[in-house]
Each structure stands twice: as structure tokens, then as C-alpha cells.
Structure 1
Amino acid sequence: MIQFLLASQSPRRRELLGLLGYPFANMAANADEAAITTPD
């Protein structure tokens, strides 16, 4: 069975995946989201 890798610390996302019965591993993303820019 496929196991998802959840790169989020969101308790709600973990809860939703658990409720759906999907197996997953939780790992914090090592990214500085504040440094990401998008063109206007």
C-alpha cells in the first residue's frame, strides 16, 4: 500500500488523513516559506 509523506506540522491535516484511513509519515518541511516570492 502507498504511504503518504506529509511535509506539514498541521494537526488538522494529520487528523484528516487519519480519518480517511490513509497511512502516512509526518516530516517537517525544511523550507523558509517567507523567502518564496512570486511575480506580480
Structure 2
Amino acid sequence: MKYITEYRDKELVRILVDKIHAYRGPKVRFMEVCGGHTMAIQKF
């Protein structure tokens, strides 16, 4: 499970969130499939 610690790194996640907020390209939509990622995001 190589990626678990990377997604729990608050500084790395903050950088990613800042990049998403700065995005000015075409509008995109995200689709949730099972809810597992949503629960992980809320937990950490």
C-alpha cells in the first residue's frame, strides 16, 4: 500500500488543494463511485 502515507501527508494534500483552487482551465466535474474516497478525505 505505497500511497497510503502520501495521502495522509497534510502538507502534500494542502499543495494539491491549492493547485485545484488555482485551476483556471475548462470546467471539470468529478463523479463519486462508491464513497470510499469521500470517507477517507473526511477522516484525514
TM-score normalised by the chain length of structure 1? 0.28
Higher strand share: 1
TM-score normalised by the chain length of structure 2? 0.26
- Rg comparison, structure with higher value: 1
Higher helix share: 2
Flag the structure with more relative contact order, 1 or 2, with Cα contacts below 8 A and sequence separation at least 6: 1
